[in-house]
Amino acid sequence: MPDLSNESEHSQPRPVEEEEAPRQPTAAERARTLVEGNPSLALTIPGLGVSPEDPMTPMTPLRHSVGPDGDLFLLVPRHAPAARAVLDAGDEEVTAVLEITDVAPVAVPHRIRGRAWIAGWLTPVPCGAFEAGAQLLRLEPGEITVDDLWGAGLVEPDEFAAAEADPLRGCEAEVLQHLAAAHQEEVGLLCGLIASPDGGCGPRAAAAAVPLALDRFGLRVRFTADDGVFDARFDFPEPAGGLEDAQRSMRALFAAAREE
């Protein structure tokens, strides 16, 4: 059954607690998905800035990846302050924080879907200049926090290392954009699947519906009604192992909505 979400004090719709929690990715899986599927990373070294008035200057890595032990590998310009600070530190570890911001790939109210922070220690990778003018750094996680549409949670480094990213992360943006552009009517009909005392959406009939998030467990839609913005999540019958599974499950959802 879909679960409705109310707006939080920060105007970001959040899940409603239910007696039976819906199937959902773990905090470690969500953090791993954010890291592997998102280019919006900002690396900050506390105390490192361009001036005393600007003590923390974030920078965006050129590329990034996650190693088998959960370490993050960040390719940064060799002339960047972060690279210079790590190289100048020699054998000393440099404390750093990596922030990942997840922005919905479709136009929707409250577009930031979540953030994750990875605090740890930066060291240079020996012979890590794989392209001219760049330096490869290793970030060893010490503390990981995720705050997203599912809620907030802490993740242990070993949990992060063992977790797998969602299998739909590579196609999620394209699917959501396609649904928003070509299947607005079908997405809007999903409102009829939401249980309410009056049947369907009841008094919260949606004036607009935008597909907000997709993962192997289901589809989340953000509805705009007369009394505000709310989310509803529509679970798949079975977790999707890939795009074809997700497409079958979404077709089943749309068929059920048309029958309402």
pLDDT computed for residue 11 by the predictor: 43
Q: What is the CATH number of the domain that holds 195?
A: 3.20.180.10
**7 occurs within a structural domain:** no
Residues 155 and 175 in one domain: no
The average pLDDT across 194-204 equals 58
Any domain includes 206: yes
Higher-confidence residue: 226 or 176?
176
Per-residue pLDDT, 12: 53
* Residue 8 placed within a domain: no
Structure tokens belonging to residue 5: 């979400």
| Distance between CA atoms of residues 190 and 35, nearest Å | 30
Q: Are residues 154 and 48 in the same domain?
A: yes
Residue 97 lies in a domain: yes
The model's pLDDT over 120-146, given as tens digits with 9 standing for 90+, comes to 999 999 875 567 789 999 999 999 999
Look at residue 13 in the predicted model and tell me its pLDDT: 53
Distance between start and end Cα atoms, the chain = 14
Q: What angle is formed at CA 64 by the lines to CA 39 and CA 244, rounded to 5 degrees?
A: 60
Residue with tokens 């600007």: 54
Same domain for 40 and 132, yes or no, is yes
Per-residue confidence band for 202, with pLDDT thresholds at 50, 70 and 90: low
Considering the domain architecture, whether residues 213 and 229 belong to the same structural domain is answered as yes
Q: Can you give the residue range of the structural domain that contains 244? A: 170-259
Instruction: Supply the pLDDT for residue 4.
Output: 41
Residues 100, 43 within the same domain: yes
Same domain, 52 and 79: yes
pLDDT, residue 136, reads 94
One domain for residues 33 and 114: yes
DSSP 8-state code for residue 227 = T
Q: Which of 92, 91, 89, 95 is nearest to 142 (CA)?
A: 95
41 and 141 together in one domain = yes
Same-domain status, 190 and 237: yes
Q: Is residue 10 part of a domain?
A: no
Q: Tell me: do 178 and 204 sit in the same domain.
A: yes
Q: Indicate which CATH number applies to the domain containing 69.
A: 2.30.110.10
Q: Is residue 21 part of a domain?
A: no
Residues 157 and 66 in one domain: yes
Confidence of residue 45 (pLDDT cuts 50, 70, 90): very high
Confidence class for position 103, pLDDT limits 50, 70, 90: very high
Pair of tokens at residue 191: 């409102």
Sign of the Cα torsion 225, 229, 230, 231 reads: positive
Q: Which of 162, 180, 212 is the last residue of a domain?
A: 162
Judged against a pLDDT cut of 90, whether residue 15 lies above it is answered with no
Give the domain-ending residue among 128, 162, 196.
162
How many domains does the chain contain in total?
A: 2
**What's the rounded Cα separation, in Å, for the pair 5 and 52?**
43
Question: Which tokens is 172 given?
Answer: 């999620």
Q: Comparing 23 with 26, which gets the higher pLDDT?
A: 26
- In this structure, the chain runs to a length of 260
Measured between alpha carbons, how far is 134 from 114 in angstroms, rounded to an integer?
29
Single out the residue in 145, 162, 179 at which a domain terminates: 162
| Residue 18 in domain | no
Same domain, 135 and 189: no
The CA-atom distances, in angstroms, between 27 and each of 12, 157, 178 are 18, 12, 28
Dihedral of alpha carbons 104, 107, 112, 113, sign? negative
Say if residues 16 and 77 touch (Cβ distance below 8 Å).
Answer: no
Q: Please, what is the average pLDDT of the chain?
A: 86
Give the global pTM: 0.84
Cite the DSSP H helix spans in 100-170: 157-162
Is residue 6 domain-resident?
no
